Chain A
Amino acid sequence: MTLAPIDPAAGPAISDLDALEAEGIHILRELAAERERPVLLFSGGKDSIVLLRLAEKAFRPGAFPFPVMHVDTGHNFPEVVAFRDRRVAELGERLIVASVQASIDAGRIADVSGPRSSRNQLQTVTLLDAIAEHRFDACIGGARRDEERARAKERIFSLRDAFGGWDPRAQRPEIWDLYNARVRPGEHVRVFPISNWTELDVWRYVAREGLELPSIYFAHERSVFKRDGMLYADDPVIERLPGEEPFVTSVRYRTVGDMTCTGAVRSEAATLEQVVTEIAATRVTERGETRADDRASEAAMEDRKRDGYF
């Protein structure tokens, strides 16, 4: 099949990334204008790094009209925590760290222990406590619709009740780009400016904008062990089972989460260019490959779909 060339003179006003960027900026500005107390949730991962750049594009030369908040499980990669502090300081913006350890110390939640435990689930309490404490009425997040099936149906402005719950049956229709950010006291909206981006879009944008990423995104030598077909960091926060022998190999991370549930992939891709090439050619989804939180419930496809897996 031969493809007819597209007349460049009749080309689009803007490229696909420019269109996604313009949409993201518009969303952030709408939110800032319509909600009094937003916060940007920053994980140190590539998606939230893109959010910070979009915020710069939306609000410079002014200050961000919201603080940046990290929910720190205490089991985060040290490289990512260091990156977080440096990046937010460079931007001159305000960082709030909501600590899962502090929630445990305060008796708000019980810590988990054992080889397969993860503090990933505990984050919710800490997040909701922080939202209540700071009276945030909107949280900006870096979730994308291509990550999992439930997200594909989630609005860009997504209402949460006082318990942080999302009711897929009670979503507001989202028509044109006329977003509805209204909330009642105690409720908040989650806002996802990069809803329509794919993993590859994010990587392309990182490359185009020359954004710095935490070093764990690039191939590095690390002591790891194998569990359920995934490679986990050999670190005191993860208890190994008998037979789970650590070994050193070259890996990189595809997502950045709590160390206890984020797996590494074997890779020699040390530069952004190499990583993007590898991602573009990869045949496994980001979550399927490296996120134990998504794999845990993988009993049957039907179940996963109910839970919103792809």
Chain B
Amino acid sequence: MATSSASAPVATLVHGLLRVATCGSVDDGKSTLLGRLLHDTRQIADDQLDHVRDVSERRGTALDLALLTDGLRAEREQGITIDVAYRSFETPRRRFILADCPGHEQYTRNMVTGASTADAAVLLVDARHGVVAQTRRHLAITALLRVPHVLVAVNKMDLVDWDGGRFAEIAGDVRALAETLGVEDVACVPVSALEGDNVVEPSTRTPWYDGPPLVTRLEELPPESDDPDGPLRFPVQLVIRPLGEAGGGRRYAGRVARGTVRPGDAVVALPSGEEAVVAAVETLDGELAHASAPRSVSIVLDRELDISRGDVLCRTGAAPALTRELEATICWMGERHLRPGARLLLKHGTRTTRAIVEDVTERLHLQSLLGAPAPDGLALNDLGRVRVRVAEPLVADPYAESRAAGAFVLIDDATNDTVAAGMITSTTG
């Protein structure tokens, strides 16, 4: 049984943090599921629960846990923006951050936003309807954004009389779809968000299901490897100049994007190509023997190089060629159409540079990700493939190899809006 976090209040949860994107179509029961999740893991304070009880009574309904999470229905009624909402919860085994993505068709950009940081996605399917167009879109985006694990909650099993055959049918459809889209890890769980089966507590009504409840699956997902064995990519955020003589030399501050950095490593600063050796990997709490993503550290080199924000430290001999032109899949989030020739800013890692979208080669089908010509460019919430030329060279990897080293955003410098999320597919010098 799940217990409240009171058991070990001061201890940090060594099983770490898991970021989870949740999405479903309207009325699939996402609000109810999230409410159930929070309720059954004892995250709901008494004052919150009292309000839900009051409102449910006033409306003459049973305890409506959907009220806890301000579902899409409520948002529409009340004119609240439909947007990604972030919520935390924890079990004795793990700390979770949920990115709750409203799943409406128009909101591809919300789902892309939520999925971008997710270690796992929970997709809702209504057992009565099975895999529908929305499910295909959601799965397509998790594939595109390379969310490592996908859990499909087949909800409202109570409305199909706990029919194991129905569940198996849906699970089969999901698996087939995942395969065509290239989703590597997908699992289905039969649940009733309303009645609480297989959300936190295992159900006695699904004898034909031998897997654990949804939360247990989330707790047991392998912790996300941040590619500690990959080639080092350390984008410099800023240079720290110590106060006074005693402070020593310059530090290059940043967050490890990929690989591992250790004292003694021979590194090369790109794009300059200057070489040095790592003298120390520092934090306020002392020196580290090694640091991998996503740690924030300061690096001291054995000599001072002319390094500034946007430069990337790589292991000597394992540095990529500089990128001046790239191909990418993007999700367009701008109000105005994207057309070839658009001049924008591109932010990749800690480098922001001018960029020209030379070509919009394809527009992708939102369900199949299959490409078709894009004579009109891309509209808000479209997915497409583009070729981009950048003014300053980038130190980039394909997104398929590294999310951190292969992702970028496009910014319209006339409005300062973030207008696209991009995933690099290939680079040239």
The answer to whether A184 touches B241 (Cβ under 8 A) is: no
The answer to whether B294 touches A19 (Cβ under 8 A) is: yes
Known: A168-B81, A180-B409, A284-B47. A1 touches B1 (CB 8 A): yes
Known: A276-B10, A288-B47. A301 touches B54 (CB 8 A): yes
Q: Once the chains are docked, how many angstroms separate the CA of A203 from the CA of B292?
A: 26
Contacts of A174 in B (CB 8 A): 113, 418
Known: A33-B238, A62-B242, A305-B70. A285 touches B45 (CB 8 A): yes
The answer to whether B16 touches A14 (Cβ under 8 A) is: yes
The answer to whether A285 touches B6 (Cβ under 8 A) is: no
CB-CB nearest in chain B for A59: B240
Most-contacted residue by chain A among B202, B243, B283, B296 (CB, 10 A) = B296
Number of A residues near B (Cβ < 8 Å) is: 78
The answer to whether B296 touches A22 (Cβ under 8 A) is: yes
- Nearest-neighbour CB distance to chain B for A146, whole angstroms, equals 6
The answer to whether A305 touches B296 (Cβ under 8 A) is: no
The answer to whether A15 touches B13 (Cβ under 8 A) is: yes
Task: Tell me the residues in window 3-53 of chain A with beta carbons closer than 8 Å to chain B beta carbons.
Answer: 3-4, 6, 10-23, 25-26, 29-30, 32-33
The answer to whether A288 touches B45 (Cβ under 8 A) is: yes
Contacts of B4 in A (CB 8 A): 280-281
The answer to whether B6 touches A30 (Cβ under 8 A) is: no
The answer to whether A176 touches B403 (Cβ under 8 A) is: yes
CB-CB nearest in chain A for B87: A152
With an 8 A cutoff between CB atoms, is B80 at the interface?
A: yes
The answer to whether B12 touches A6 (Cβ under 8 A) is: no
The answer to whether B228 touches A204 (Cβ under 8 A) is: no
With an 8 A cutoff between CB atoms, is B93 at the interface?
A: yes
- Nearest-neighbour CB distance to chain A for B114, whole angstroms, equals 10
Q: Mark B389-429, 1 if CB is under 8 A from A, else 0.
A: 00000000000000110011101010011100100000000
Contacts of B237 in A (CB 8 A): 26, 29-30, 33
Contacts of B243 in A (CB 8 A): 61-63
CB-CB nearest in chain B for A205: B12
Q: Once the chains are docked, how many angstroms separate the CA of A22 from the CA of B347?
A: 20
With an 8 A cutoff between CB atoms, is B247 at the interface?
A: yes
The answer to whether A16 touches B222 (Cβ under 8 A) is: no
With an 8 A cutoff between CB atoms, is B341 at the interface?
A: no
Q: Mark A163-205, 1 if CB is under 8 A from B, else 0.
A: 0000011011111111010111000000000011110110110
The answer to whether A152 touches B86 (Cβ under 8 A) is: yes
- Nearest-neighbour CB distance to chain A for B347, whole angstroms, equals 5
- Nearest-neighbour CB distance to chain A for B189, whole angstroms, equals 15
With an 8 A cutoff between CB atoms, is A110 at the interface?
A: no
The answer to whether A11 touches B350 (Cβ under 8 A) is: no
8 contacts between A and B (CB under 8 A): A3-B93, A18-B295, A62-B242, A146-B88, A175-B421, A201-B88, A280-B4, A301-B54
